[in-house]
A and B are shown apart, each in its own frame.
Chain A
Amino acid sequence: MTTTENRPEIGQSRVRKEDARLITGRTRYTDSITPTGCLHIAVVRSPLSHATILSIDTEAAKQAPGVHGVYTLADLGGEEIGMPCAWPITPDQKAPQRPMLAKDTVHFAGEGVAVVVARTLAEARDAAELVEIDYDPLDPVLDMEAALAEGATLVHPDLGTNESATWVFDSGEAGTGGSVTEAIAAAEADPDQVVVKRRFRQQRLIPAFMEPRSCVVDPTGEQIVVWSATQVPHILRTMTTVTLGVPESKLRVIAPDVGGGFGGKIGVLPEEMLTVVLAQKLRKPVKWTETRSECMLTAHHGRDQIQDITITARKDGTITGLDVKLLADMGAYLGLVGPGVPVLGAFMFNAIYKVPAYRFATTNVFTTKTLTDAYRGAGRPEATFGIERIIDELAVELGREPLELREQNWIKHEEFPYTTVCGLTYDSGDYEQATARAKELFDYDALRREQAERRERGDKVQLGIGISTFTEMCGLAPSRVLGSLAYGAGGWEAASIRMLATGKVEVITGASAHGQGHETAFSQIVADKLGVPFEDVEVLHGDTASSPKGLDTYGSRSLVVGGIAITMAADKVIDKAKKIAAHLLEADEGDIEFSGGQFTVRGTGQGKAIQEIAFAAFMAHDYPEGMEPNLDSDAVYDPENFSFPHGTHLAAMEVDTETGRVNLRHYVCVDDIGNVVNPLIAEGQVHGGLAQGIAQALFEEANYDDQGTLVNGTFVDYTLPSAADLPSFTTEIVSTPATSNPLGVKGVGEAGTIASTPAIVNGVLDAVRHLGVADIEMPTTSQRVWRALQEAKGRSTQETPIDTHSPGAGLGSIDPNNPQGEV
């Protein structure tokens, strides 16, 4: 450990260095980049979810002022171009070609059909209104079970089925546990066991990052420069080559400031490919920027699963088996990693529990809806919801206190490392510690007493306590594991460190940030490693010219994979510098010590700072024979294991039994994320994650009508929570260091989202279960809660038609706190 004044940097709540630009408007988001002569694109989109294109008339649009061209797929010669899917989860996965623009059939509302290129965006949008398209409507395919039934309308008739793939994991067959079929049969025959079956629904969500997607392509240099609001500039470069055949060496991809992603910017977009093709064709810079409405309609959605879960247990509470059957809605096409999202959940349904027998099967289904792909947590929120909900159901069945039932079954801290029924080895964790602290902060016992009193009194407002004791696998990922899952890439990350002549340090990372604070956190790591001032470290990312190698940012991987690559590069810098230091100090290399940025000869006062060594290497007047005068170093880190953060989340939910109004009164979470580089940033990640997970439970849902039209595709209707919709959270971090990486760190970016959704729903149900309510689908709006309460009383209720249903609390929409107006 280094020892200068601000050491160690790791562990300090440094305010972020990247803020200086962001708080003053000195920013460069993609839509702010407009090269001289730049042309603008407007995409003409299908209003129908499923239809044959009879004709496209572009003549009037072509005559409009400022229009350089109007193109269909055929006009661009793009019929053979298909967007990439990098994750064939089974060898026989059915994968339709996803074109840049619809070929002869549209498969979801919002799919592009033609594109207008004009001098200004306003001219392009005006002309887009003049494109006349005749459609012959086809039946929409909306319901997953109906889509799989005999005789269903096929989204892609050439595939012969709406089933894309079925992927199965069976611990009996894998040899990692028993057979769940046998476990269920045994439980059913055993009076001393219970079998609990439930169906849960993961509604469809919209990632709704704040910056709409945008892409600018400048073809005027030797390399085609692509700026894109993407999480994955490196993957975008490689995939542009794969998709369009442009040599990778002729492409430079830049993700400048990127306004959030949450998985929603992980794709390779038809619009990005269109922009490249048009820039090449017109030999001018071309820009595409979507409207928010286009974003809601066409950027990939998340979740959308039906979960059929069976859990078996002995009456003493010991879990004996877990069976999970999913239907996962892919939408109309397969996204870049969309098919693998449910598979990422496969290893997490068993969660923190000792489950002796486990089976998981997902069937991925095509519908005529917007495609789905990664959204914060990607598979793991779904799994965590499933297991944490079914554990509560098991507790109800057994008449057990739900937290005690969890503790009875979870892996004890002394049992780590622990190999699960899925074959994953959890390296570290302490569920007892996190839970004890969370209970203390929450005042769990007092709230349980209050709950009992309110029930006793029959209060109008009832109290429920929601629990979620979660873990997740993050730090995607060991490349060999990805290979075994047929994923189309590795999971390593790259880093380089350049020591400049003046002693400043450039750190290059392949993990491209879009709000996470990499610049600050990575600077802290490097400042400690090299013993240089925090301010002297510059972190470069998101430009394939400066950071040519990387696999980008998703899956809570930046610190636990990218950060380790940086420490490895720093070690190499130190090794090289040590040789030069030994040479200059006329000492044996073995006698040189390095600490706090100083190379010293053991037992003497002689020493040189790392900056002096950097300058000496730059001058190169005097350095060891046989060595290059250079300290710069590269490293690629391929993790050996995932990291497994965990935590205990507790929610105090108040439900007004007369109106159905739900109020999140208090939320406490204690997350174990291993060693923490920057507590301020880590806490911010937890807050944001909680808000998104809570929003799934309470507010958000993408609703389609019976024609397959997205009916709440604006911020008026899709109810992102505002500040007024959320309380302040009580968050705390405990640290059981990871043993799977040298920094002892675990991921944090997705934890809050993964954990919070079941905590909220368990809490809502806990408040009203004694009134006869067994389940409420998400989002648990006032209307749904009220209806469940009425139905529990044997009263019939009328569901508000979906085309007027708006589940949350957004401006201009139905007030969830005023359900009287809804029914």
Chain B
Amino acid sequence: MAEVRVTVDGVNYADEVEPRTLLVQYLRERLGKTGTVVGCDTSNCGACTVHLNGQSVKSCSVLAVQADGGEVLTIEGLARDGELHPVQKAFNECHGLQCGYCTPGMIMAAVDLLGDNPDPDEHEVREGIEGNLCRCTGYQNIVRSVQRAAQLMKPGASAPTEQPAPVAGD
């Protein structure tokens, strides 16, 4: 067994895990963070995307022990003080989800994308979320959602909170 100390959605954890435990298994099975889901076994679908130390990662391709000493943000910790993140709001407004299964990963990937590129054009959004698969939406409203979120997050935009929009790892 290996020890892992990690902060997940603002809570500190210290656990013994089998060294082979994937981060997503640790999140779901040990911490009960079932908002993050598993869609494949080849790291293609991106449904399990979370942020590790401010970067989006597919939590099926990270060992729990690799997160030792790190900070993890999942979909469950993205809203702050009951206020949805602009990306969450935009997915709702623009109908960027149907069954919702890819949505946690898609939103976490989109937050990271907008951190790197605050004003992506359609092509950049499509390339930026290429690692996250969706079978329901045909992606059109996901693209719209990400671009809408970019508007909401622009400095001076009628931001939903007085704080700057939260970014992973903050």
A residues lining the B interface (CB < 8 Å) = 15-16, 18-29, 31-32, 34, 122, 208-212, 257-260, 262, 291-293, 514-517, 680-681, 683-684, 687-692, 714-716, 720, 722-724, 726, 728-729, 752, 810-812
Contact = CB atoms under 8 A, between A and B. Distances in A.
A722 B40 contact: no
A24 B133 contact: no
B161 to A, nearest CB: 16
B135 A720 contact: yes
A19 B101 contact: no
B39 A211 contact: yes
Contacts of B39: 210-212, 259, 292
A19 B99 contact: no
B168 interface: no
Nearest to B25: A122
A722 B122 contact: no
Contacts of B76: 24-26
B122 A724 contact: no
Given A24-B75, A212-B38, A729-B138, 5 more contacts: A19-B91, A22-B103, A32-B34, A259-B37, A722-B132
A691 B138 CA distance: 5
B109 to A, nearest CB: 10
Interface stretch (B63-71, B123-131, B152-160): B123-131
B45 interface: yes
13 contacts: A24-B78, A25-B33, A25-B104, A31-B37, A212-B38, A259-B100, A292-B40, A687-B137, A688-B136, A688-B138, A691-B135, A715-B45, A716-B42
A688 B137 contact: yes
A20 B42 contact: no
B98 A15 contact: no
B100 to A, nearest CB: 3
B167 interface: no
Kindly list the 6 A-B residue pairs having the minimum CB-CB distance in the complex, ordered from nearest.
Answer: A25-B35, A515-B99, A259-B101, A22-B100, A691-B138, A32-B34
Contacts of B45: 210, 292, 715
A754 to B, nearest CB: 15
A35 to B, nearest CB: 14
A260 B143 contact: no
Secondary structure class of chain B's binding surface, majority of residues: loop
A722 B130 contact: yes
Contacts of B127: 723-724
Contacts of B98: 260, 515-517, 684, 688
Given A15-B95, A292-B45, A723-B126, A729 B40 contact: no
A171 to B, nearest CB: 37
A59 B114 CA distance: 54
Interface of B: 18, 28-29, 33-42, 44-45, 47, 74-76, 78-79, 84, 88, 91-93, 95, 97-104, 107, 122, 125-127, 129-143
B40 A19 contact: no
Given A24-B84, A259-B37, A714-B41, A19 B97 contact: yes
B92 A20 contact: yes
B130 A724 contact: yes
Nearest to A32: B34
- Max chain A Cβ within 10 angstroms of own Cβ: one of B78, B126, B136, B141: B136
Nearest to B37: A29
B122 A728 contact: yes
A716 B138 contact: no
Contact of A684 (B28, B125, B135, B137): B137
B37 A211 contact: yes
A723 B92 contact: no
B143 A728 contact: yes
Nearest to B129: A723
Contact of B40 (A28, A514, A714): A714
Contacts of B122: 728
Contacts of A722: 126, 129-133, 139
B139 A715 contact: no
Contact of A293 (B28, B41, B91, B103): B41
A601 B135 CA distance: 52
A726 B97 contact: no
Nearest to A290: B41
Contacts of B36: 25
A15 B93 contact: yes
Contacts of A208: 135
